Amino acid sequence: MPHNTFHASTIPGVHSDTRSYRASVRLDHLVIAVSDFERSNAFYRDVLGARVVEIDGRVAYRVGEQQLNVHGPGVEPAMVARIPVVPGNSDLCFEWDGPIALAVAHLNAHGVRVEAGPITRGGAKGAGTSVYFRDPDGTLLELISYVD
């Protein structure tokens, strides 16, 4: 039985290999919001290994080849979602490149409480093992490992 039967009953039967157009698209960046730049910069740098960068007077976190643009106090972005992102309302998953036990140890070493896991979850590469935790504003974060 799927964890979420709603999704199982609403996924269309069309497979991606039957699309008439194949775009070469990949995720470049997304937006999160924070309530305190100093606190969040330290968290994303120390816990997720992000490079904290300044782009056009704004803060961004680079994690691997992806980027999190950061909205927060004093930031007035030119374009925002219809319902703008606010601190604590995002849900992000990052791939951990080692065993999930090392991710748990890493989080513990930084004083970050694991809320759930390790548990099996489906990710971009198939089934993996995940742990869930939160950033200082309450955004739900997940680390998924595809390593046995």
Q: Is 142 a catalytic residue?
A: yes
**Residues 6+ positions from 138 with CB-CB distance below 8 Å:** 87, 88
48: nearest Cα among 81, 78, 70: 70
Instruction: Say which of 54, 65, 76, 142 is annotated catalytic.
Output: 142
Is residue 37 classed as helix, strand or coil in its secondary structure?
A: helix
Strands of the 29-33 sheet, one edge to the other = 29-33, 66-71, 58-63, 51-55
What's the rounded Cα separation, in Å, for the pair 105 and 100? 9
Burial class (CB in 10 A: 0-12, 13-18, 19+), 23: exposed
35: nearest Cα among 131, 116, 135, 141: 135
Active site positions, annotated? 142
